[in-house]
Structure 1
């Protein structure tokens, strides 16, 4: 068995713990615990720069780990966010697998943890936690696992917005893109602003993410659903205009500029160019240049995160682009007859500026 080693950048980790202490984590689980945040600080910061002692291939120190490494970038971000939230709730040390760490650090170099090799015995003896079942997770946390459980393993594709929304500020710091990606996004927005300045001097950026290709099979298998049609995005744009008009009496819809990204660029170009206001549609794919030494999807999400508002259909990639952006978000629901874990997770968090509309409609507005 390979021993599990947790290497932590001491200064960066100390800063994150200091920030976590400022969050009132007691509100996560009500009166069950008196000071989760203090427990988190006390139990971990003494070990910030240590290689933890081990026994039976696992460190003595209590920890919560990620070991589900099959997802893509959005899944990795959700798992990391849930990891930090559960860590803060229990006082357990967060541990990233090497695969998970490698996938994230190339995009977000501010993440203050190193990856660890996690032994099979360590994985097998850990308590399995399925955080998508919020009621069961709440009940588990209410039993004060820090007093009776050694290690926790997050299972499946954890995306528990209800918990990690409480540390959103910390997550935004951690999910800061590499300078080269950030600079490329900023330059693209600046160039676009100059291009449309004569028509739209004060643009309101709306990020739109369209998920297609292999997601069709995913929706069919898990939700008995189908990909949304273009009319969904038309209705979403109308809904966003109504929302912005209601929230701001000075809102001018002619200032809206839509930055559209997708894993199917041909589809979005074929459809969005048919709009009467097609001149307000900008394709994020145009920002990417062959000289860039990073994948196009990194730039897509970075551009989306810099928008004022968002429209997404489904999937964690679009979710994170919109979540990092803030502002109002319109998302699809009732995609199929099956249950959507992602939609339910967002609704449980009661995000004040997140609205859902029907994924499918028989009539096009």
Structure 2
């Protein structure tokens, strides 16, 4: 008795035959598949071309072939077919709906061996630009595509975007993967009780292709195997960027190497792969779990490329392979970037604005705030520089940093971008609408050395107030620093209450942050503006003001780049002044702690410099400065 599949196929053929269909060239194959005979004499120069690829190697190569065929069909309107082996391998990982988007060569044609295929190189720029390939050709595409051109980079960006929507994992594998990740998360929280359970986990997939590829890489490209230093560096990169709540999932075709060579002092590395390269169920699980991660660490081979593409996020790797968003390529330092095309930028393009600050953290925060508000109000494209991101990353969360793109990460060819130094007052950008399109402006760099900010203008004062309000919601401190600050303030409050038993223990403490910028800034203030350093009388007067206004339950937290001066000159008869700063201007961790601590206060005492401006702005409340007491930073 024939199978139901054979019966359906036969019924379809009977219907086609009785209806006089033009598709009467279909026949039934012995295995129950419907196929048709390719009629060579009917195929001519007006017929849609036929493309197919016979990939060599494992699953990753077959997905690559599938992706190229899919995208070529979308863009050229040709007929494409995957090999049966491609279908079989991908069928172990992806859903039936995925596989149905493309016919199988051996299933479509009964006489596939008789089709006169011409082998040509997979030269993407040529196929996209030369229209003669779109009709009248039966082609078997081979070898690697022509990489390194913008046409190819654009094409790959469209291809990867297509695959992210086309490739769907099998439901039963996803359920196993989610169950595994849930168990791993529970183990991780058990090992790290100090990390708050509500902190979201960042998952990093590691794929380390070794075994046969090591020999191939050496013989073909002279590449030596990646050693443990590569993975240590990559993991440290993600830990530094995303904090402690990071889990690494390691998959390899040589799991033994990983277990023997990769130490796990942070207890955040989990070996989840099985290393069974011939077991398609295990391979399917490995690919699916890596693709569920937020970011990736890859080595070599197309398997790792595809898990990184499907995972999305950042890709830490050693080679230049395009795996990012539209028209993006991958820079050698493992950042995704795109090529700025000068000839495509015109008077209708949104203006680009960049600020390249000099100096320390406070100046970079000021640049960040200006750029953010310019984008919000004018609709221009803005970019911070890498140094701004680096300095801010020590203090603020990854969510904060993702608010604005980084110039050096966004563009591969920043040296080719025709920036124009803008040394006019910034109010012109705010009031003149012509600046909103067609301009590429560098507002501050080492040549200009200053940004003209005329604070006396109504427009600029309003702008400052707006970006100050914006930054209070945009700038979010790193959770681990906030926790350390909270612990410190709790200890100080306990000491204060012990020293002042007559103060009502239920009384709320008013915290006053003091920032005293000295060292190199004293010389700058004198030479540039004729300003002398603040002496102890200024701080005594400011502290007395707050004591009189808020009563006895007041604590002053003193931070400076010269802590020694404060301890020597500021007496503490009220026992309410605590010297909490470290004065280590080169220690990024200490700087981050100082800024976060001052920003948690209720009010501020400000001297000079942008660091103190920003701690006062984020603290809110009153600001005591050399010209009086204000509620707004714009009045300083």
TM-score normalised per structure 2: 0.40
Q: Is the 8 A contact 1:213 1:264 kept in 2?
A: yes
Which residue of the partner structure matches residue 122 of structure 1?
Answer: 115
Which residue of the partner structure matches residue 301 of structure 1?
Answer: 287
Q: Which secondary structure state, in structure 2, belongs to the residue aligned with residue 285 of structure 1?
A: coil
Q: Which secondary structure state, in structure 2, belongs to the residue aligned with residue 71 of structure 1?
A: coil
Q: CA deviation at 1:53?
A: 7.0
1:175 equivalent to 2:167? Answer: yes
CA deviations 1:5-28 (Å, max 9, x no partner) are xxxxxxxxxxxxxxxxxxxxxxxx
Q: How does 1:94-105 map to 2 (within 5 A)?
A: 94-105=80-91
Q: CA deviation at 1:105?
A: 2.1
Q: Which secondary structure state, in structure 2, belongs to the residue aligned with residue 66 of structure 1?
A: strand
Q: 1:317 aligns with which of 277, 292, 303?
A: 303
CA deviations 1:27-84 (Å, max 9, x no partner) are xxxxxxxxxxxxxxxxxxxxxxx96773228866424433424220000011111111
Change (3 A) 1:111 1:187: same
Q: Which has the larger radius of gyration?
A: 2
Which residue of the partner structure matches residue 56 of structure 1?
Answer: 40
Gaps in structure 1 of 5+ consecutive residues? 1-49, 132-136, 245-250, 334-342, 359-365
Q: Which secondary structure state, in structure 2, belongs to the residue aligned with residue 177 of structure 1?
A: coil
Q: Which secondary structure state, in structure 1, belongs to the residue aligned with residue 54 of structure 2?
A: coil
Q: Which secondary structure state, in structure 2, belongs to the residue aligned with residue 186 of structure 1?
A: helix
Q: Which secondary structure state, in structure 2, belongs to the residue aligned with residue 228 of structure 1?
A: coil
Q: Is the 8 A contact 1:63 1:95 kept in 2?
A: no
Whose RCO is larger (CA < 8 A, sep 6+)? 1
Which residue of the partner structure matches residue 233 of structure 2?
Answer: 235
Which residue of the partner structure matches residue 272 of structure 2?
Answer: 284
Q: CA deviation at 1:167?
A: 4.0
Which residue of the partner structure matches residue 182 of structure 2?
Answer: 190
Q: How many residues align?
A: 279
Change (3 A) 1:58 1:239: farther
Which residue of the partner structure matches residue 328 of structure 2?
Answer: 351
Output the CA distance in 2 between the equivalents of 1:231 and 1:311.
13
Q: Which secondary structure state, in structure 2, belongs to the residue aligned with residue 197 of structure 1?
A: helix
Q: Which secondary structure state, in structure 2, belongs to the residue aligned with residue 261 of structure 1?
A: strand
Change (3 A) 1:221 1:123: farther
Which residue of the partner structure matches residue 99 of structure 2?
Answer: 111
1:213 equivalent to 2:190? Answer: no
Output the CA distance in 2 between the equivalents of 1:93 and 1:260.
39
Output the CA distance in 2 between the equivalents of 1:164 and 1:64.
21
Output the CA distance in 2 between the equivalents of 1:207 and 1:159.
29
Give the CA RMSD over aligned residues. Answer: 3.1
Change (3 A) 1:214 1:173: same
Output the CA distance in 2 between the equivalents of 1:262 and 1:159.
29
Q: Which secondary structure state, in structure 1, belongs to the residue aligned with residue 82 of structure 2?
A: strand
Output the CA distance in 2 between the equivalents of 1:301 and 1:57.
44
Q: CA deviation at 1:193?
A: 1.6
Q: CA deviation at 1:176?
A: 1.6
Q: Is the 8 A contact 1:73 1:103 kept in 2?
A: yes
Output the CA distance in 1 between the equivalents of 2:331 and 2:236.
13
Q: CA deviation at 1:226?
A: 1.2
Output the CA distance in 1 between the equivalents of 2:256 and 2:39.
55
Q: Is the 8 A contact 1:79 1:159 kept in 2?
A: no
Q: Is the 8 A contact 2:156 2:322 kept in 1?
A: no
Output the CA distance in 2 between the equivalents of 1:72 and 1:159.
21
Q: CA deviation at 1:238?
A: 3.1
Output the CA distance in 2 between the equivalents of 1:114 and 1:213.
33
Q: Which secondary structure state, in structure 1, belongs to the residue aligned with residue 115 of structure 2?
A: helix
Q: Is the 8 A contact 1:68 1:156 kept in 2?
A: no
Q: Is the 8 A contact 1:85 1:164 kept in 2?
A: no
Q: 2:261 aligns with which of 245, 251, 271?
A: 271
Which residue of the partner structure matches residue 125 of structure 2?
Answer: 138
Output the CA distance in 2 between the equivalents of 1:347 and 1:224.
26
TM-score normalised per structure 1: 0.67
Q: 2:57 aligns with which of 68, 71, 74?
A: 71
Q: Is the 8 A contact 1:75 1:157 kept in 2?
A: no
Q: CA deviation at 1:298?
A: 1.2
Change (3 A) 1:299 1:351: farther
Q: CA deviation at 1:306?
A: 0.4
Q: CA deviation at 1:130?
A: 2.2
Q: Is the 8 A contact 1:97 1:116 kept in 2?
A: yes
Gaps in structure 2 of 5+ consecutive residues? 1-33, 335-636
CA deviations 1:123-162 (Å, max 9, x no partner) are 53x362323xxxxx31442221355542332212559773
Which residue of the partner structure matches residue 73 of structure 2?
Answer: 87
